Structure 1
Amino acid sequence: GTVVQVVQGLDAARIAAYFAQALESLAHALEKQPQQPVHTLEILPAAERETPFVTDAAPQLMGERTITACFEAVAVRQPDQAAVVMAGQTLSFDQLNRRANQLAHAIHAMGVIPGERVAIFSARGVELLIAVLAVLKAGAAYVPLDPAHPVSRIGYMLADSTPSAVLSTAAAAPLLQSLALTVPVVLLDDATHASQAECNPQQESLTSHNLAYVIYTSGSTGQPKGVMVEHHSVIRLWQGLNAEVFAHCPGVDRVSMNASLSFDASVQMWIQLLSGRCVVLIPQEVRLDADALLSYIDVHAIDVLDCTPAQLDGLLEAGLLDGHRAHPDAVLVGGDVLTATTWRQLQQSPRVQFFNVYGPTECTVDATVARIRADSGRPNIGHPLPQVKVCLRDRLGRPVPRGVTGEILLGGGQLARGYLGQPTLTAERFAEDLAAVGAHQAAPGPERLYRTGDLARLLEDGSYEYLGRNDHQVKIRGVRIELGEVESQLLLHPGIDQVVVTARGDYPGDRRLVAYFTSTAAAPPLAAELREMLASHLSEPMVPSAFVLMPHWPLSPNGKIDRKGLPVPNTESMSARCNEPPRGDAETAVAQIWQDVLGLPQIGRYDRFFELGGHSLSAIQVVVRLRRKFDVEIPMADLFAHSTVETLARHVVDLLMAKIGEEDMARLSDGLDDLSEAELLDLLEKEDQR
């Protein structure tokens, strides 16, 4: 079967070489090892057994300096240039360096020593970057915690990471009170830090192999796992992206920080600061509103934007590529798979350069990059960064031929140290060399390989085509999710006997988690109940959009649950309310927009958007379409405040009526439901003429 896969699309000489090797291997096995399994026969010619399928684009780049040493050099070189901007607040490189020094000395005064960990629990803001830099200057590693996550999840991460201190703000700190912390909490907005020294802390023992941060990702055991990354890995990422991305973007000065600090894409802030560029933080409310984000890009003159494919789709719908909208010079897209439709759209862009980046947290954010151009061919994840080694292996750990699907194994200088406090898992996922892949041996050195669980194949042009996962890990809106973690939480409900969580792509460009479960309880749990339970333990992207009660499981011929046979969830499984149909033109228009975005056949006037599987990124599409439909300004927050068809339609009508002159108000007082969309638009047109 492998030979058949290989020969497709190859020239006659290579086909002959593969068949010759396969026949030679078969003849040798029949003579010397007749009991050898057929699937272990070697079909690769010796010349292709290793080098064509192991890519190490690698001139050895310098990675032996620390992040802090590199930053301090920039602060000396350009002290007065802007380093961090958010809304109306700006810090120069010198100001950022001095304030981070003050906080670092305060951290030392509390007894934190190099090598320990410090948690950061704060909303987005300039103080967040000061805190991160201060922790590194103190010789410690930062552990980012997102205040938007459930308290129980934050509590687990704090207990697992055992920080020596927690940095927070007066606004965020109250959320920590229920966790009964035994370590000091330092408030970032406490003015007493200003009394500390402004000089750079001297850390003689700090090297590039010190831990820089621990970021938590979803874990298959039911709890998140902490990935440990050292300074040198970040330095190599900085050098690699400068060589493969920013070399194509001359004159870049201002780059966004769009991702949450608890998401590994935020590490790219160091690429910008260490290059002397200004980091522009995107406020949370702006991140969730495509129109507002495009305006923010314009106002703050952002040259390069980072985003996920789902967020990019919202920006495209809001007019990112339209001639009259502001746009960045370049966009880095990562965290999930670009659809073929979006890929083709990006290929035709004459105004913006797009880069598709791929990489797990365990390889320090990005391992490969594809520059999307008109001649880029099919969607792909491109070529490795300069110090990343990419190998494709079959299930036995052997190299696969060009064009054949294999698991992606990553090596090189960007690899993480491993998982915090989990040596067995580290040994399972990281291996010392190719031969050790199947043996699950751990190795601390730079020659390790990380088993990603991602599948790909090497194309003729040397780029890699991503083909999905080989396990139960998925990405939803850029967030890596172990389905086992969601299943483990659901099984804690006494009314659930068995559960399967899967990611469905029933709607183009929108993958959703769906939970299927069986129950022998007299009153099986409802979707709303299960959603509320999960929301108290899991982050928002990990909560399924639908919960389907199964009378019995579809089974495969070998008796296992047939995941492909699981049904498409209906509206009931998404916690729909009383399905009274919409009233009036306004409600009908709102309901139709929801149906189009959510891919549902019918929506009632009392249904709630987020109970129907809506999320922050699909909400962007709804807001954009409402603005276009009714020509009124609708902030993203309005969809959260008016979450039913009825209340949102009434709010839209109120906004429309606010634009209408007083002389027309009297005849509209009979009621909103009888007012047609055509009448409203006619009145608006008259008002515009006035």
Structure 2
Amino acid sequence: MKKSQFLIKLTPYQESFYNEWMLNPSRSDYNMVLDQSMSGALDIERLNSSLVRFINNHLLMNSNVLNTSDELIWKSRPLLSEDAQIITYFPQELSREELLNLVLEPFDLEKDLLVRFYVIQLSDERYRIVYVLSHIIVDGLSGNSLYDEISNYYNNPTYINPVNLFEQARLHENLNHQFDEIFRKGKNEMSSFWKKQLEGIENIGFKFLQTSSISKEHSHINRVKEVRFEFLENIFLKVKQLTRNHKLTPYTYGQMILAIAIHRISGIEQVGINYPVGIKEGKDLIFGAHVNTIIKGYHFTSKTNLSDLIDQNLNYVTELKKTKAHYLPVGEIIRLAPTSDILEFNFVQANLKDIFFNYEGTYNRIINSDLNVDLPGKIIFEQEIKDNQLNCRVKYDHFELDSDLVSQFIEIYKKLFVQVLDDILENKTKTQISSYDLLNKDDYQTLLHDWNSTMAEYDTTVTLHELFERQVDKTPDHIALVYEDVKLSYRELNERSNQLAHYLLQNYEIKADELIPLCLERSEQLFIGILGVLKSGGAFVPIDPDFPMDRITYIVGDTKARLMIGEKNTIQNLYGSKDQIDDLSIISLDSSGMEEILSSYSIDNPKTDVGPKDLSYVIYTSGTTGNPKGVMIEHGGVVNLVEFMIKPHRLNEYTHVGCYSNYIFDAFISESFPVLCHGNTLWLYSNRLRRSVSELNEYITENGIEVSFIPPVILRELLPDTSLQLILVGGEAFPDISDLNHENVILINECGPTETTVCVTYHHYDKDNNPLNIGRPIANTTAYVLDRYLRPVPEGAVGELYIGGVGVSRGYLNLPEPTDEKFVVNVFQSEEEKAIGYNGRMYKTGDLVRYLPGGDLEYIGRNDFQVKIRGYK
């Protein structure tokens, strides 16, 4: 028989397989594995002979792809000789790694025989047969026939395929002619259908099924895992009712539930589910891939209800049938989509039945599933109907996806499957998709309450300055503050700030919540000013002397300040703008006259009526989208922060602590006041040191500084030469330092918006080396990860972070509408919390985060600009 007799064009769908192989010739995820064990008298020579006849009698089984200049062609290989040895026989059991290597061996579609046969002797009369076929020559539609055919050749030595090679070639050519005619008549209409159907379809991504800690296991471990579950007869019979009443088949219903689950977990509104469709015309068996992949779009809004989705499905099916759009090859469909990477979630109507090779003389057959490697993607949902129940299998790449998160996703799918089914059958089709809870009772308890069980004792009767005064009584002669050549003991710092406080009280009669701007350079005067204002009963408002004048005047006007505290160098420009800040008294702490005046005032602690519910400071946000907003922070939240930070900052262990931040940022509070309220020494870095990493490291070493906040932007540069024992990082994204040696340094990532008192979560970086892990809430702080409907999302799913607890600020100064928008009633407040007046409000942060398995939070980014990035906004 001449080879030239059989040159047949590939179908468009076979071309899709070939083109994907060309992009990655080493891929093995299209290897289909038939793996069974059996006992009995299996005749290896007879089996080999039967497989030779099987190959020779099936055209595509014995062909390769020829890539010509203008088309792809099946070119038949020479017929195998009768004594060709095509079985690889192993006389003893193989290791798992050896087996996996066999099935992962890729096929060269242009050169290799596209099927491989292995027989492994397990014992005297026990065998394992492993057949590996390229997907381009077999598909799910021909699966049953494949098992029957291969069995027939073994059981009957005279059996031959009733459809000879010439007839197979003719059938294949006819098939191509049919496709050509279909495309000639209707390709434009097909393209129009897909453009409309896929409009707006988004990348879903797999973020909600992944963790950064997934380890790439050794190569001898199969990447593919599977989970099986079923819906029993009572559920199946309910699903069948959907076909009569709503034109939803069990398959389309299961697919719709997958879309709902993805939408609710990922937040994606335009969800595409891809699925295979058989496209072979006629009933004659022709081995080969005769399936196409198409995409059904599900379109969600905040108001979408079940009826809307049912209508979408009906319209889709009607138009698909009318236009015959399922014929358009997947490669061309993708080109019509707004984004190319949308073949992410697969839903397949599969045959999961236990089909055996019925070899004569064998028994005790077992189907092995540990070598399933045919997963061209990361996850696939498969469904079959068998014995009045729905059987489901989820296959996924556990090198890429977290098994716990996949299991959770499956449980959510199962929960929604039943809930939605009952609602449809009870004619509750106006139920909005947003109304379904994703969490079961146990998960709800864990995420909302157990992981927020942070209540801890702290002094609820004291203010920040009183906390400092208590420490002064304990360690009056310890050095509290060092700035360049200035060293102040606790007693000295307290007395000088007391004198300022008494001056303010006597001359201005400061009342609780009165706002007093500070415009100070870095020096000991900074702390004298802050403590003096607090001790007088007021709240300080930090202003950077380098601020533009219009910003300074805006803050002064917004605070309705009567006086400002500055220094000679910082207030010069203010006098030139007196017309903009009329009636503002300006105090210069370092003027000779003021120093003399203050020295005459009492050094005793002043007595005021200020309490924990009064303001301690107001910090203005950056104002990048308009005027800055003044965030009002009460004493109680700061005291909770200060008392909590003693332990993670290891202030019982380390004495000398550096202070890096500008005091206009609230990180300054977390750096300095835990130190000053615990008897340690605070080293205030000069601006010169803050501008030079080498000089800063030298200063830290010379003075034995053990703990310091370091901005993320300079962490990589500082780490290699630092002598610090503990570094606090926050304010920006934690940098990747995995390539740097930091074994001797404790790294703590602290995160939180100004609106919730500096820090709401902290994380020891060395625990998992995940720079995005921001850890867990601090004491008396709660964290909620919610979707756009304010419903809690499960582990792994991205949502917006809402913060509750004692650190939630009073709101924005003079801005009731933004305050009402961002500070909302905490609907998750427990009855116990209500009884004690705790955790009644939440702050809407605008930060996208997710819970990692175990309870840590992972930072994703901001949602201000609503940018879609692989499965989250």
Give TM-score, length-normalised by structure 1. 0.63
> What do residues 403-451 of structure 1 show as CA deviations (whole Å, max 9, x unaligned)?
1001000001111111111111111001111379xxxxxxx97410100
Take 1:2 and 1:262, find their aligned partners in 2: how far apart are those partners? 46
**Secondary structure at 1:197 match in 2:** coil
Q: Which of residues 575, 599, 602 in structure 2 aligns to 1:197?
A: 602
| Secondary structure class of the residue paired with 2:508 | coil
Find the counterpart in structure 2 of residue 285 from structure 1. Answer: 688
- Residue 90 to residue 472, structure 1, CA distance change in 2 (3 Å): farther
Matched position secondary structure for 1:96: helix
Aligned ranges for residues 390-429 of structure 1 at < 5 Å? 390-429=783-822
2:848: which partner in 1?
A: 455
Deviations 1:65-107 (A, max 9, x none): 1111111111111110000101110000000010001110111
Answer yes or no: is the 8 Å Cα contact 2:709–2:727 preserved in 1.
yes
**2:438 counterpart residue number:** 43
**1:359/1:368 contact within 8 Å kept:** yes
Task: Name the SS of the counterpart of 1:166 in structure 2.
Answer: strand
2-side partners of 1:374 and 1:458: how far apart? 16
Say which is worse superposed, 117-126 or 52-61, in terms of deviation. 52-61
Q: Is the 8 A contact 2:454 2:777 kept in 1?
A: no
Checking the alignment, whether the CA contact within 8 Å between 2:454 and 2:780 is kept in structure 1 is yes
1:74 matched residue in structure 2: 471
Return the offset for 1:25: 2.1
1:297-354 CA deviation, whole Å, 9 max, x = no partner?
A: 1222211111221122332xxxx32xxx441111100001113x22x246x4122111
Q: Identify which range, 283-292 or 56-65, moves more after superposition.
A: 56-65
1:453–1:470: 8 Å Cα contact kept in structure 2? yes
Structure 1 residue 467: Cα displacement: 0.3
Match of 1:229 among 633, 647, 671: 633
Aligned positions of 1:579-618 closer than 5 A? none
User: What residue number does 1:17 align with?
Assistant: 411
Contact 2:646–2:652 (Cα < 8 Å) also in 1: no
Report which stretch shifted further, 38-47 or 210-219: 38-47
Rounded Cα–Cα distance in structure 2 between residues aligned with 1:61 and 1:459: 27
Shift of 1:117: 1.2
Aligned match of 2:610: 206
Structure 1 unmatched ranges of 5 or more: 437-443, 474-561, 565-690
Which amino acid in 2 is paired with 1:296? Y
2:553 corresponds to 1:121: no
Q: What is the Cα deviation at residue 28 of structure 1?
A: 3.3
- Matching of residues 498-537 of structure 1 within 5 Å: none
For the pair 1:187 / 2:588, whether they are aligned, the reply is: yes
| Residue 261 (1) aligns with residue 663 (2) | yes
Question: Counterpart amino acid of 2:433?
Answer: V
- Whether contact under 8 Å (2:804, 2:826) holds in the other structure is no
**Aligned residue type for 1:156:** Y
Shift in Å, 1:199 = 0.8
Deviations 1:119-178 (A, max 9, x none): 111111001100100000000000000011111111111111112211111121102112
After superposition, give the CA deviation of every residue in 1:537-583 in whole Å (9 maximum; x if it has no partner): xxxxxxxxxxxxxxxxxxxxxxxxx999xxxxxxxxxxxxxxxxxxx
Equivalent in the alignment of 1:176:
574
Matched residue of 1:196: which SS? coil
Cα pair 2:656 2:680 within 8 Å, conserved:
yes
CA contact (8 A) 2:806 2:838 kept: no
Superposed CA RMSD = 2.3
The amino acid that maps onto 1:201 is: P
Residue in 1 aligned with 2:507?
110
Match of 2:563 in 1: 165
Residue number in structure 1 paired with 2:726? 330
- Work out whether 1:86 is the aligned partner of 2:483: yes
SS at structure 1 position matched to 2:511 = coil
Distance in 2 separating the partners of 1:314 and 1:162 = 43
TM-aligned CA deviation for residue 59 of structure 1:
3.2
Q: 1:173 to 1:43 in 2, by over 3 A?
A: closer
TM-score with structure 2 length normalisation? Answer: 0.50
**1:250-305 CA-partner distances (Å, limit 9, x unpaired):** 52111112111111111121111011111111101210111111112122221111
Aligned twin of 1:152: 550
Residues in 2 aligned to 1:50 and 1:326: alpha-carbon distance in whole angstroms = 44
- Aligned partners of 1:57 and 1:385 also within 8 Å: no
Q: Residue 399 and residue 2 in structure 1: after superposition, are their counterparts in 2 closer, same or farther (change >3 A)?
A: farther
Q: Shift of residue 179 of structure 1?
A: 2.5
- Once residues 172 and 241 of structure 1 are traced to their aligned partners in structure 2, the CA distance between those partners, rounded to angstroms, is 32
CA distance in 2, matches of 1:350, 1:242: 23
Q: CA deviation at 1:239?
A: 2.0
1:560-610: CA deviation from partner (whole Å, max 9, x where unpaired): xx999xxxxxxxxxxxxxxxxxxxxxxxxxxxxxxxxxxxxxxxxxxxxxx
Q: C-alpha distance in 2, partners of 1:426/1:193?
A: 39
CA distance in 2, matches of 1:135, 1:361: 20
Structure 1 pair 2/335, CA: closer, same or farther in 2 (3 Å)? Answer: farther
Task: Give the equivalent residue in structure 2 for 1:276.
Answer: 679
- The code of the aligned residue for 2:705 comes to I
- Structure 1 residues 49 and 148: CA distance shift in structure 2, 3 A: same
SS of corresponding position for 1:267 = helix
2:497 alignment partner in structure 1:
100
Matched, 1:29 2:427: no
Q: Distance in 2 between matches of 1:142 and 1:23?
A: 56
Helix, strand or coil for the counterpart of 2:773? coil
Is 2:529 aligned against 1:131? Answer: yes
- How far did residue 229 of structure 1 move? 0.3
User: How far did residue 369 of structure 1 move?
Assistant: 0.6
Match of 2:778 among 379, 385, 395: 385
Find the residue that maps to 1:373 and give its secondary structure.
Answer: helix
User: Runs (4+) of structure 1 moved beyond 6 Å?
Assistant: none
8 Å contact kept, 1:240–1:387: no
User: 3-state DSSP class of the match of 2:541?
Assistant: strand
**Whole-angstrom distance in 1 between the partners of 2:826 and 2:702:** 50
Q: Which runs of 5+ in 2 are unaligned?
A: 1-258, 267-393, 395-400, 830-836
Cα distance in 2 between the residues matched to 1:335 and 1:14: 32
CA distance in 1 between counterparts of 2:643 and 2:775 reads 17
User: In 2, Cα distance between the equivalents of 1:414 and 1:20?
Assistant: 39
Provide the rounded CA distance (Å) in 1 between the counterparts of 2:402 and 2:448.
17
- Residue 17 of structure 1 aligns to a residue in which SS? helix
Equivalent residues in 2 for 1:526-675 (5 A)? none
**Structure 2 CA distance, aligned partners of 1:240 and 1:32?**
53
**Counterpart position of 1:303:** 706
| Structure 1 residues 374 and 211: alpha-carbon distance in aligned structure 2, compared to 1, 3 A threshold | closer
Q: Is the 8 A contact 1:208 1:230 kept in 2?
A: yes
d(CA) in 2 for partners of 1:378 and 1:135?
A: 38
Structure 1 position 377, deviation (Å): 4.5
How far is 1:56 from its partner? 1.8
Secondary structure of the residue that 1:398 maps to in structure 2? coil
**How many positions carry a matched residue from both structures?**
456
Residue 794 of structure 2: SS of its match in structure 1?
coil
Q: Write the distance in 2 (CA, Å) between the matches of 1:197 and 1:42.
A: 62
Of the three residues 135, 140, 147, the one matched with 2:538 is 140
Change (3 A) 1:285 1:37: same
1:246 to 625, 649, 661: 649
Contact 2:448 2:828 in 1 (8 A): no
1:3 maps to amino acid: A
Q: Which amino acid aligns with 2:663?
A: L
